[in-house]
Structure 1
Amino acid sequence: MQRSLGVAGLAGGLWLAGSIAAYADDPASHEQDSSTESSVAAPIELGGLSLGVETEDRSSVEQSSSYTDSDGNTTETESVAESSSQSDLGIDVGEISIDPAAMLATESSTSSVEAGDSGSTEGSQLTSGEVEAPVSLGGVTVTGSQQSASTTEESTTTTTDEGSASTSESTSESSATGGALEIGQLDIDPAAALSDDRESETTSTEGGVNDAESSSETSLEASSPITFEGIAATATDERSSEREIGSTVTDSEGTATTSETVSQASSNAVGVEGLDLAVDPMASVWNSTGSAATQARGIEGAESSASESDTAIWAGAPFHLGGITAAGESAQAEARQATSTVSDDEGTVTSTEQSWDATRTSFIGQTGDIAGEPWVWLTDTRSDASASAGDSEGSDSNTAQMVGYAFPFAIGDSGFASEIVDASGTNTADAITDENGTRTNERTTENQSVTRPGFVLDGAAGDPHGLLDTENAQRNRLV
């Protein structure tokens, strides 16, 4: 019985040990996957918008007075004054639309396997995202004007036993300014995309050998095309004034009359249009890294490691800029006229004098279309490796960089022209009428000078570019 129990106990122990060993040698594995996706959008549209305001003011004053002294002399005075002003402002905005959108997706997975003293683990992760936000802005128009006018009149008459004397004076002024600004439609379509991929792996064995590897790759792309339909602006300014003075004296000997008129006028105008723009900036970045390491403890502590990385950047912005045209004119004029007439028993004497001055300056300038395609790129490569076994060591490293750029461009014909004119003149006329007849004398003078500066550029083109390339290698050995 004792022998039987001993055999049974030994068999049971062996069976239990074998079961435990069998369970230990049975491989185990684990896996896990996950993914996430999300997106968002928010389109917005806004119809056109209009704003405006208008103001108007008017005023007038009339006044009269009369005075008679003890001698019977009478003085009468009358005056009238009027003024007015008007202004307006308007703003119109075209339709506005915005359509932002974004998307994000992630995926990840992990797995592990264990068998005794050996095991391995793997993991990966992938992330991608996209975003865009197109914007469209309808044209914007701004208009405004300001007008003002004023007039004054005044007259005085004095009557006595010997006759009468009267004087009169009137002035008038007016001004008008205006402007318009028109901005063309603007479209912008920015967009970007991101991608990131990462992987890792580790392995260990019963012999004491460990391996680890990892890699990652990242890329980014972005662009933002822009179109602009140009701009147009105008501004005007006009001013004028006039002044009249007259006097009349009548007595027993006759009548004397004098009058004078002075008028002034100025006008200024300027306009600008063009600047159509189309540009498509783009950029991309790419980066890749990798690393590996091995450790073997059973071979006198042998170790090795290596890493590498590559980076590339590219950017460009082809564009087209429409030429701009500017034109303007400024003119000023002044005229003066004086007349005197004297009549008595012997006859009539009349004298008239006119004088005027005028200046005018005008210009026009134009730049041709400008087109270019600038771009630049950069690459950077790096690698490192090292190994050791006992007292022996070795390492290698390499780096290389390269930079390039270019900017081809072309400019269309350009030019500028101007004209400056100065002019003046006088006219005098005299007439004498008596019992002998009528005698007249008239004289006219005129002066004018013109200057026309200008230049023309028959376009221009160029292609500046360059390249920079560097490389460095280093090796170290210790035995």
Structure 2
Amino acid sequence: MNVWVKRSLSTAAVAGGLFFAGAAAAHADTGTAHDEGLLGGKASAPIEIGSIDLGVQSSSSSSHSSTVSHTGKQGTTTSTKQSTKSTKDSIGLSTGKITADPAATLKSVTRSTTHRSDGAVSGKQSQHTQGSVQAPVSIGGVKLTGQHEETSTSAEKVTRSDKHGTSVSERRTVRGSKTGGSLETGSITLNPNGSLDTRQVAGGSADRRGNSSIFSHSATDAAGSLPISFGGLKAQGWSDTYSLDYSKQKSTGKHGSRTEERSDERATHTGAGVEVGRLVADPQAELSDRRSFLGQTDRHGRYTLISDQATTGSLSAPFRFDGVSGFVTSQQASRTVRATEVANQHRTVRKIVTDESASSQTIAGHSGAVTGDPSLDFADHRSSLIAGDRHSSIVRRDHDGYAAYAFPYSYDGFGVAGDFANASRHSVIDQVADRHGVTTRTETDQKANRTLPAYNFQGFHGSPEGVVDFSRISQLTQLDK
């Protein structure tokens, strides 16, 4: 006889022997026995944490001043100096409410029945188990901010007086900077959950004439999912600087006065930011498994073994992501002012020259939403039949199944844009005032240019899908004729 058939018969014989071993000693008795067991439980642990806000701010400042005066044969010189410095830092953190509610349940019921009458025995045992678990979690988001400021000033003034007149010299500088950033995340929710349901039945019968049969059935169903929602993310940072340099020279004598002033200002700004859109997904899976077995023998050595197994399942993960956007920018500006004034008893001449320039560079881009719904379904079916007697046997096996997949998707595209600009201005003001009146002449030159490059892609979409079939395999073989 075929070796595979012999092994199957051995397995059936062992299963049947174990099932009826408990009833063999009382084979001739008559009676019915019932037994039932129950196991169950339930647990949960809800947690809630309120929102948290944390902020820290610190500042410091210092100043210094001095005055020196000297008088001699050449006259009097007075010098004064002043300086200040200050810093300021701040940081803040806030979180939303956090909740969690994990829970689990389990229930199992076992029943068994044995019946004996007139030398025959039959029995059946069944078990049904159900369980579920879930753990929803919600986090209300996080926001983090920080900023640093720094400012310093210095001033100096020198005055000289002698027989020729008076001269005054002044200088002043200012420096300032500010840097900061922020990070903010949206709320996050998770709800992992799963369930399990199993049923098992086994039994058999035997009589005094040598006829016996055993059977078993089992069914398992499992499912799980992990829905997730993320509210996105925003991050940005910036840096600003400012500077001023100022100087003034003024001298006064018997022939008149002369004044010269110069002011230089500089300002810059640099920034960058990124925003991540919302993400929503719901991956889930299901699995089902069915199995059955039947074995029969009689006193003439005839036997039949039948087994069947069917497994099906599905996987899916629908999702949507709202995309990403970001920018980078840099700006610079400067201004220089030079002023000269000469005055005497006859006239006053003034000249003011101003030079200004500014530039800006910005690049921004975005990527559109992405959606998809990948899925996979599969099935597998196997069955076998073994029948025979002491002289011959027949074996038949069947196997078929399929797997189907699909992935519909969509992408909204992306875009990139830039803004590059430059501008400058030069002006001269000449003014003469005398006993005849005031004459003013103004000249101005301006230049500006701007470039706006842009590119946009409209995206794409598709839906690949297919089915893979397992060809049916049937084998009918007669052995040991």
Q: TM-score range by the shorter chain?
A: 0.7 to 0.9
Equivalent in the alignment of 2:20: none
- Give, in whole Å, the separation in 2 of the partners of 1:395 and 1:165: 122
- Give, in whole Å, the separation in 1 of the partners of 2:364 and 2:207: 85
For residues 231-246 of structure 1, what are the structure 2 equivalents within 5 Å?
231-246=233-248
Encode CA deviations 1:125-146: one digit per residue, 9 max, x unaligned.
1110011222222243333332
Equivalent in the alignment of 1:373: 373
- Give, in whole Å, the separation in 1 of the partners of 2:175 and 2:292: 83
Encode CA deviations 1:261-294: one digit per residue, 9 max, x unaligned.
1111122444555623333222111112222333
Equivalent in the alignment of 2:277: 275
Equivalent in the alignment of 1:392: 392
1:32 Cα deviation after fit: 1.0
Q: Residues 38, 359 of structure 1: CA spacing in aligned structure 2 closer, same or farther, 3 A cutoff?
A: same
Encode CA deviations 1:165-207: one digit per residue, 9 max, x unaligned.
4322111122233444443333322221111111112333333
Q: Residues 436, 295 of structure 1: CA spacing in aligned structure 2 closer, same or farther, 3 A cutoff?
A: same
- Give, in whole Å, the separation in 2 of the partners of 1:43 and 1:316: 29
Equivalent in the alignment of 1:355: 355
Equivalent in the alignment of 2:466: 466
For residues 175-324 of structure 1, what are the structure 2 equivalents within 5 Å?
175-251=177-253, 254-273=256-275, 275-296=277-298, 298-299=299-300, 301-324=301-324
- Give, in whole Å, the separation in 2 of the partners of 1:171 and 1:116: 117
1:235 Cα deviation after fit: 3.7
Equivalent in the alignment of 1:331: 331
Equivalent in the alignment of 2:121: 119
Larger CA deviation: 341-350 vs 164-173: 341-350
The answer to whether 1:44 aligns with 2:35 is no
- Give, in whole Å, the separation in 1 of the partners of 2:113 and 2:302: 28
Encode CA deviations 1:42-65: one digit per residue, 9 max, x unaligned.
222222221111111111111222
- Give, in whole Å, the separation in 2 of the partners of 1:407 and 1:65: 84
The answer to whether 1:477 aligns with 2:446 is no
- Give, in whole Å, the separation in 2 of the partners of 1:339 and 1:155: 19
Q: Residues 48, 436 of structure 1: CA spacing in aligned structure 2 closer, same or farther, 3 A cutoff?
A: closer
Encode CA deviations 1:302-333: one digit per residue, 9 max, x unaligned.
44433222222212222333355545543211
Equivalent in the alignment of 2:14: none
- Give, in whole Å, the separation in 2 of the partners of 1:161 and 1:174: 42
Contact 2:86 2:151 in 1 (8 A): yes
- Give, in whole Å, the separation in 1 of the partners of 2:170 and 2:288: 88
Q: Residues 24, 463 of structure 1: CA spacing in aligned structure 2 closer, same or farther, 3 A cutoff?
A: closer
The answer to whether 1:83 aligns with 2:85 is yes
Q: Which runs of 5+ in 1 are unaligned?
A: 1-22
Encode CA deviations 1:188-229: one digit per residue, 9 max, x unaligned.
222211111111123333333442222211111112323344
Percent same amino acid among aligned pairs?
26
The answer to whether 1:61 aligns with 2:64 is yes
Equivalent in the alignment of 1:8: none
- Give, in whole Å, the separation in 1 of the partners of 2:335 and 2:400: 80
Contact 2:378 2:403 in 1 (8 A): yes
Equivalent in the alignment of 1:19: none
For residues 10-21 of structure 1, what are the structure 2 equivalents within 5 Å?
none
- Give, in whole Å, the separation in 2 of the partners of 1:388 and 1:399: 22
Equivalent in the alignment of 1:383: 383
Contact 1:108 1:125 in 2 (8 A): yes
Larger CA deviation: 396-405 vs 53-62: 396-405
- Give, in whole Å, the separation in 1 of the partners of 2:463 and 2:246: 67
Q: Which runs of 5+ in 2 are unaligned?
A: 1-25
The one-letter code matched in structure 2 to 1:156 is V
The one-letter code matched in structure 2 to 1:293 is G
- Give, in whole Å, the separation in 2 of the partners of 1:24 and 1:455: 89
The one-letter code matched in structure 1 to 2:68 is S
Q: Residues 435, 46 of structure 1: CA spacing in aligned structure 2 closer, same or farther, 3 A cutoff?
A: closer
The CA RMSD over aligned residues, in Å, is 3.0
The alignment's TM-score, normalised by the length of structure 1, stands at 0.84
Q: Residues 434, 83 of structure 1: CA spacing in aligned structure 2 closer, same or farther, 3 A cutoff?
A: same
SS state at 1:390 partner: coil
- Give, in whole Å, the separation in 1 of the partners of 2:46 and 2:208: 60
Contact 2:111 2:125 in 1 (8 A): yes
The alignment's TM-score, normalised by the length of structure 2, stands at 0.84
1:33 Cα deviation after fit: 0.5
Q: Residues 185, 24 of structure 1: CA spacing in aligned structure 2 closer, same or farther, 3 A cutoff?
A: closer
Encode CA deviations 1:45-103: one digit per residue, 9 max, x unaligned.
2222211111111111112222345x344332211111222222222222222222211
Contact 1:398 1:471 in 2 (8 A): no
Contact 2:281 2:320 in 1 (8 A): yes
Equivalent in the alignment of 2:29: 26
- Give, in whole Å, the separation in 2 of the partners of 1:336 and 1:151: 19
Match for residue 131 of structure 1 among 130, 133, 139: 133
- Give, in whole Å, the separation in 2 of the partners of 1:415 and 1:229: 23
1:344 Cα deviation after fit: 6.3
The one-letter code matched in structure 2 to 1:305 is L
Larger CA deviation: 367-376 vs 82-91: 367-376
Equivalent in the alignment of 2:145: 143
Q: Residues 349, 361 of structure 1: CA spacing in aligned structure 2 closer, same or farther, 3 A cutoff?
A: same
- Give, in whole Å, the separation in 1 of the partners of 2:67 and 2:384: 106
